[in-house]
Structure 1
Amino acid sequence: MSERAKVVVIGGGIAGCSTLYHLTQEGITDVILLERDELTSGTTWHSAAQVTNFGMNQTMVGLKSHSIALYKELSEDPEYPINYHHADGGIRLAETEEQMEAYRHFASMARGMGVEFEVIDAAECARRHPLLVTDGLVGGLWDPLDGDIDPAQLCQALARRARNAGARVIRHRPVTGLTQRSDDSWIVHTEAGDIEAEIIVNAGGYRCNEIGAMMGAILPVASMEHQYFLTEPIKAIEEAGHRMPLIRCPISDYYSRQEKNGLLIGFYEQDCKTWGMDGIDPNFTNALCPDDPERVIETFEGAMARMPAIGEVGIHTIVNGPITYTIDGAPLVGPIPNKRNAFCITGLRAGLGEGGGHGWLLAQMIAHGEACYDTWCIDPRRFTGHASVELTALKAIEDYQNEFRFHYPHEHRPAGRPMKTTPLTPVLAAEGGHFGLVNGWERLEYIKPTPEFEEEHSFRFTNAEEVIGAEVRAVQSGVGLTEVSGFNRFEITGSGAHDFLDRMTCGRLQRCEGRVGLSYLLNHQGMVKGEATIANLPNGRVWFGSAAAAEYHDMDWLMQHRGADEDVQIRSLTNDMTILVIAGPKARDVLSSAARGDWSEEAFKWLAVREAHVGIAPAVVMRVSFSGELAYEIHVP
């Protein structure tokens, strides 16, 4: 007879243990965690295990703050205390005023989440960390709650609390297959028998795509080899009388923290290396990659220049193990695209530091359908069909090489580009187009004034401000033409199409042929889930247009709520057509020269009056197919 559970979590590292614990906190105690070996036997056991408040947006700051509060509570549990150094503090160094400006930006952003950072000068950096030399140093960002934790103890403590709440942890039970039933529940196949589950969670770490393959899902996760050294005892540390703060150095791409009376020093070398691209040995468990110190020599020399005491002692241990990355460096936490009752929590490159928060948010999604924070920055559906294995590897390398470098607003890094283009992309490029990225699509941002123009990224206005301002003024007084590539275009047909959309959106759905309206989709808590432009076309067709970034998200939401007995078909035309926008007071002149029909203001006023009397609107649709054919449809009743 099969075992049963409401939720089965696959993977016993920090991701799985945190999810298991937080599910019980949300009232779901009928949970089984399956681990193929021992808890923490994947990446978790060799983690450098640093815990910081620093995050690139408020969601990441919030979930890291949750992790810190949770870990502190666990460390003070009299029945099962764990080792957690949570008040050593940490400094992110800076060698330029631009870096200091960015630190002030992040300190301000974090303050909105109740987190206090301090921007300090070079002398204060050296006072707080006596091993530092200040040559070329401008200052740094101080996090008073930076620290480190014992990975194995943390996961055991989370599992212990989950067991006490009624959850089960089963070790040495590999998953061999996953089968989804017609009611969207799952059968989890193992060597010791099947488990029936309503919901499954892929927390497989660097084996997440082995689990994904069992359900026909590919996750954009790649592994990188990551090395850190453990030094012999350092006299200055032994004599300091206090623990050394953590250091993260974007100048030389290293980090360090105290380990006993020595240092743990980790590297993000430029000559980095992917891992497991050709498959992973089934026996790779509680294991490491071969030592490769030559690869990090240059980075190590930079660390010694900043902290000369390192060069006075030996290295007694080298740790080289895989850590996971996604295309943009942020993890995948949430629903698996195009699947029902399937979630993932993987790609946690800083898993120990933020895993408590990730499991917290995922448990809320599973239990309530939503989390208390905006989780789009970690939603697995933010990547779509462009997220190939090759692209993931290229972007993982790029992100690894930029680990401590800021990702500025409007900065679109080059690895893997171009990903998705249209027939107009080379036309716009020939005009000097500068492109950004939206869901992999190359989208025109502005026309460069000269071929040599390069935008200087910053958290303030950049040198592109005047270029963009001139374009805005040109549209205000004349006309502008651009392409909006990747904007979602779902065609919804069937006798129940309008009733379905009317149920899905708040407000009254326009039903007259030719009418176009803006609609909002709400979740069950009445919060905005999405925004869509609904266009009623001839023959009962409806076009649903929404943001390019939301392609998988919106399709999932619509398909999830389509009734089994509804005559509703949803087909994506997103990759079949692109969109041109013509704007400005002279837009009518351009259209009149390029297309048949009367585009004058008087003609539109007449149609508007006629619509008011007979309730029928004109429809004007301009589209460009990817075959290059330009077509205008003008429907005037």
Structure 2
Amino acid sequence: MSLPSHTRVVIVGGGSLGVNLAYHLTEEGWTDIVLVEKGELTSGSTWHAAGLCPNFNGNHTLSKIHNYTIELYDKIIPAKTGLPSSFHTTGSLRIAYSEVEEQWFRNIKSRAANVGCEMNWVSKKEAAEIAQVMTFPDARAILHTPNDGHVDPTSVIMPLGQMAREAGATLSRFNRVIDINVLANGEFEVITEQGTIIAEHVVNCGGCFAPEVGAMVGVHVPMVNLEHQYLVTDDHPELAKLTRELPVVRDSRAASYIRQEGNGFLVGPYETRGAKPWALNGMDWSFDRGLFEGDLERIMPYLESCMELAPYFAEVGVKTVINGAITHTPDDNFLCGPSAEVRNFWMLSGASIGIAQGGIGKYMAQWMVHGQTELNMASLDSRRFSTWANKDYCITRAIESYERMYASAAPTENRPHGRPIRTSPLHTVMQQAGAEHFVTAGYEKPAWFHTSEVQKESESWAHNEAHAVVAEECAAVQNACGITDLSGSAKFRITGPDAYAFLDQLSSNKLPQTDGRIGLTLFHAPKGGIMAELSVSRISATEFVLMGAIGSQIKDFQWLKQHKANFDVGLEDITESWGGLLLTGPKARDILQQITTADLSNSAFPWLSCQTIQLDSAPVFAMRVSYAGELGWELYMPVWQLISIYESLMEFGTPMGLRNFGSRAFNAMRMEKAYRAYGHEFTEEISGLEAGMERFIDLQRDFIGADNLRQRQQAGLTMELAYLVFDDAIAAECFGNEAVYADGKLTGIVTGGAYGYRVGKSLAFAYVAPEHAKAGTKLTVESSLGTRQCHVEMIAAYDAENTKLRA
């Protein structure tokens, strides 16, 4: 087969993800595609995978992808090819043994309502009837997903490849990509063993080889290969008598999956100790369809636990041991979307259960063709990592992910692996003050501070020991003053004669018109999705400072860079060079005045204004804003000044009641003020209109995405953000993606929540049908502790008139 000299897209790798992408790109209308695979299709990790496709998943976006993948394999492929479905709809059982597991299962079940997959509680007796040859006498709770199962990977990947080929894609097998060069015009010269192709886009679907493919163009790929083994047993006569196939059983105590294979068992443990990384010094390009020698001794304790679940398993011999390489990322979510380093070089690699996640091809194709997808891709976006995710970090975190594959999850879980990797200059100071740090985008952030009474917290989805401590932190902010470290936020400086015009084309809100003023804005994609939420401080018409979320730092800066053509501007990412503090509470002015001669009065330094002032002997960029909803200042300075300024504020502020507070209190107070947050209320699949941000959107001007927003406004919104205030006293908060019901019918999905300590109520945001986003509407939410009662309010629960902010 001769290769074309030019193409729109080259996909490097022909495993599950690469072939799925090729097919779905053709479905989106892009047929000028060349997929290059160094071996046969599926010859990497795909061919030896166990083929499990579960509906149970702790990531909402992945759950949607899994659900679509099952539909693709079981319904769409047969309908398009005329072939019978090869999908084994066996259903699955997930077994819980502890209280925290049961709470987690309740959260997963609530999320499933908006995914569209069936998920039911079953008793131990019912589970034994479903499992037929297995019993679960010690189980505390069991979830049954009747419509998932497993599939032979080759039986679905090959038809997808054939359909892509019939639609116009070229699939070049046994042809290795030797090198990739970025040309001056932004295109790629893809050099293969069989010829050179010039491509507009390149997608790294290299699987185990993804780091090597990324290195060809200088793209960092934070991924590690680990060995994973499963075994297939000899036949058992009792299984041969069954009239229906066994479900897939996943058991946290055995840390294993068990399913039927023919008339025998297929059992795959994820050992909780001793996971083995592989190829840490790079892959050998000759590796193809390779397996490692089986090591049953390493997994024997888990196999023995499986024998307790399925006694027949103990009565059969081992027919085959499959020990192959599986890719793992630091958080075990795959790497998807644009790379940070090279425009139009895309990532689609790092899936640890790539068969179940093959349907990502649909959403990746949407991303490439339309610039956004119908899902919130933030948790999969490859730009959530950067070079700070170094080799040691990736290995350590990948091992953690592997060894906790079937462990319970909780919002208070705080694992130590690979930490610290990104820290504020105040990290040690905060630790010495008793900070319990949690991690966001690798960055260590204080969540709450130990007291003499509370030194640790339990893993739970309910209120735990730290609940009372966070209440004290909020009370200090409300009644005196609090201080918290803001260094872990994204910070950008925009300069140059075109700075105003450059930001004006991106910003949905009018930019500040006066020097020294602050505004809040959203950036939208052409299709209307929210790309960024940023505060904009106008230093002058030729200089602006932007502040945003640390989790979207790389993505936001890339968005700025991609739109600077034809503008005379300079862009600087000052995230790592600037540290920050928030001083907030009714005594904030009095405390700050102790270390400055600047006039901090309302007339000289009003709300939503900014200026550089001197604290002690240091110039500090001060912003009169507070996400906590009290009088306050955000204070930014070079990182080397941060400890000194913090210590001065504590010295003078402690006698006035100044106290450290963490992100738990911060989130609670932002919820009381009904402030939205990027990654929760603001995501790429919705616009600022659905988010209720009309007063920050000026549709009288043109900006990127304005036409789409006008169309949405004219057509009418299909969902709107509602502010929920809970009417019960159940000690469990919303964490995001829980199901919302109106009169027993599903109406929406929670984006986030917290207990409002200043108002004494649980609070949440949720996207619901427009008819239910009205004041007083009664709704229910399925939480991790059961059904909760709430109603909709249209104004903030705390200081709706912003009196305290203006004090």
Closer/same/farther in 2, CA of residues 149 and 606 from structure 1, 3 Å limit: closer
Which TM-score applies when normalising by structure 1?
0.94
Per-residue deviation, 1:506 = 0.9
Q: Deviations over 1:5-34 (max 9, x none)?
A: 111111000010000000000000111110
Query: Contact between 1:234 and 1:313, CA under 8 Å: does it hold in 2?
Result: yes
Alignment of 1:145-156 (within 5 A): 145-156=147-158
Name the aligned partner's letter for residue 297 of structure 2.
Answer: E
Name the aligned partner's letter for residue 498 of structure 1.
Answer: Y
Name the aligned partner's letter for residue 278 of structure 1.
Answer: N
Closer/same/farther in 2, CA of residues 286 and 80 from structure 1, 3 Å limit: farther
Name the aligned partner's letter for residue 625 of structure 1.
Answer: P
Name the aligned partner's letter for residue 595 of structure 1.
Answer: T
Per-residue deviation, 1:598 = 2.5
Q: Which residue of 1 aligns with 2:707?
A: none
Q: Which secondary structure does the structure 2 equivalent of 1:128 belong to? A: helix
Query: What is the alpha-carbon distance in structure 1 between the residues aligned to residue 149 and residue 189 of structure 2?
Result: 41
Per-residue deviation, 1:602 = 5.8
Per-residue deviation, 1:555 = 0.8
Query: What is the alpha-carbon distance in structure 2 between the residues aligned to residue 491 and residue 94 of structure 1?
Result: 50
Q: Which residue of 2 aligns with 1:423?
A: 425
Match of 1:468 among 452, 467, 470: 470
Q: Which secondary structure does the structure 2 equivalent of 1:255 belong to? A: strand
Query: What is the alpha-carbon distance in structure 1 between the residues aligned to residue 103 and residue 441 of structure 2?
Result: 29
Q: Which secondary structure does the structure 2 equivalent of 1:348 belong to? A: coil
Q: Does 1:8 align with 2:26?
A: no
Q: Deviations over 1:194-217 (max 9, x none)?
A: 101111110000100110010101
Moved more, 357-366 or 462-471: 462-471
Q: Deviations over 1:402-438 (max 9, x none)?
A: 1012332243321011111122111111111111111
Any gaps of 5 or more consecutive residues in structure 2? 610-621, 625-633, 647-807
Which TM-score applies when normalising by structure 2?
0.75
Per-residue deviation, 1:293 = 1.4
Match of 1:169 among 171, 174, 187: 171
Q: Which residue of 2 aligns with 1:309?
A: 312
Per-residue deviation, 1:626 = 2.0
Query: What is the alpha-carbon distance in structure 2 between the residues aligned to residue 384 and residue 393 of structure 1?
Result: 15
- Number of aligned pairs? 622
Alignment of 1:190-209 (within 5 A): 190-209=192-211
Per-residue deviation, 1:139 = 3.1
Query: What is the alpha-carbon distance in structure 2 between the residues aligned to residue 325 and residue 362 of structure 1?
Result: 19
Name the aligned partner's letter for residue 532 of structure 2.
Answer: G
Query: What is the alpha-carbon distance in structure 2 between the residues aligned to residue 2 and residue 60 of structure 1?
Result: 35
Query: Contact between 1:623 and 1:631, CA under 8 Å: does it hold in 2?
Result: no
Name the aligned partner's letter for residue 283 of structure 1.
Answer: S
Closer/same/farther in 2, CA of residues 137 and 607 from structure 1, 3 Å limit: closer
Query: Contact between 2:220 and 2:386, CA under 8 Å: does it hold in 1?
Result: no
Query: Contact between 1:441 and 1:485, CA under 8 Å: does it hold in 2?
Result: no
Per-residue deviation, 1:151 = 0.9
Match of 1:277 among 280, 284, 309: 280
Q: Does 1:597 align with 2:598?
A: yes
Query: What is the alpha-carbon distance in structure 2 between the residues aligned to residue 77 and residue 514 of structure 1?
Result: 62
Q: Does 1:583 align with 2:584?
A: yes
Q: Which secondary structure does the structure 2 equivalent of 1:46 belong to? A: coil
Query: Contact between 1:186 and 1:196, CA under 8 Å: does it hold in 2?
Result: yes
Q: Which residue of 2 aligns with 1:541?
A: 543
Alignment of 1:27-176 (within 5 A): 27-73=29-75, 76-77=78-79, 79=81, 81=83, 84-176=86-178
Q: Report the aligned-residue RMSD.
A: 2.1
Closer/same/farther in 2, CA of residues 340 and 606 from structure 1, 3 Å limit: closer
Taking only the aligned residue pairs, the percentage that are identical comes to 33
Per-residue deviation, 1:360 = 0.7
Q: Which residue of 1 aligns with 2:255?
A: 253
Per-residue deviation, 1:470 = 1.3
Q: Which residue of 2 aligns with 1:623?
A: 636
Per-residue deviation, 1:538 = 5.5
Closer/same/farther in 2, CA of residues 88 and 539 from structure 1, 3 Å limit: closer
Alignment of 1:488-567 (within 5 A): 488-537=490-539, 540-563=542-565, 565-567=566-568
| Greater share of residues in helix | 1
Query: What is the alpha-carbon distance in structure 2 between the residues aligned to residue 3 and residue 341 of structure 1?
Result: 18
Q: Which residue of 2 aligns with 1:299?
A: 302
Query: What is the alpha-carbon distance in structure 1 between the residues aligned to residue 226 and residue 604 of structure 2?
Result: 62
Alignment of 1:288-367 (within 5 A): 288-355=291-358, 357-367=359-369
Query: What is the alpha-carbon distance in structure 2 between the residues aligned to residue 524 and residue 406 of structure 1?
Result: 40
Alignment of 1:17-32 (within 5 A): 17-32=19-34
Name the aligned partner's letter for residue 60 of structure 1.
Answer: L
Moved more, 300-309 or 542-551: 300-309
Query: Contact between 1:332 and 1:379, CA under 8 Å: does it hold in 2?
Result: yes
Q: Which secondary structure does the structure 2 equivalent of 1:537 belong to? A: strand
Q: Which residue of 2 aligns with 1:570?
A: 571
Query: What is the alpha-carbon distance in structure 1 between the residues aligned to residue 30 and residue 389 of structure 2?
Result: 33
Query: What is the alpha-carbon distance in structure 2 between the residues aligned to residue 212 and residue 606 of structure 1?
Result: 47
Per-residue deviation, 1:264 = 0.6
Any gaps of 5 or more consecutive residues in structure 1? 609-617, 633-637
Query: What is the alpha-carbon distance in structure 1 between the residues aligned to residue 385 and residue 103 of structure 2?
Result: 31
Moved more, 299-308 or 368-377: 299-308
Query: What is the alpha-carbon distance in structure 2 between the residues aligned to residue 539 and residue 146 of structure 1?
Result: 57
Moved more, 528-537 or 458-467: 458-467
Query: Contact between 2:582 and 2:635, CA under 8 Å: does it hold in 1?
Result: no
Q: Which secondary structure does the structure 2 equivalent of 1:536 belong to? A: strand
Moved more, 200-209 or 502-511: 502-511
Query: Contact between 2:500 and 2:541, CA under 8 Å: does it hold in 1?
Result: no
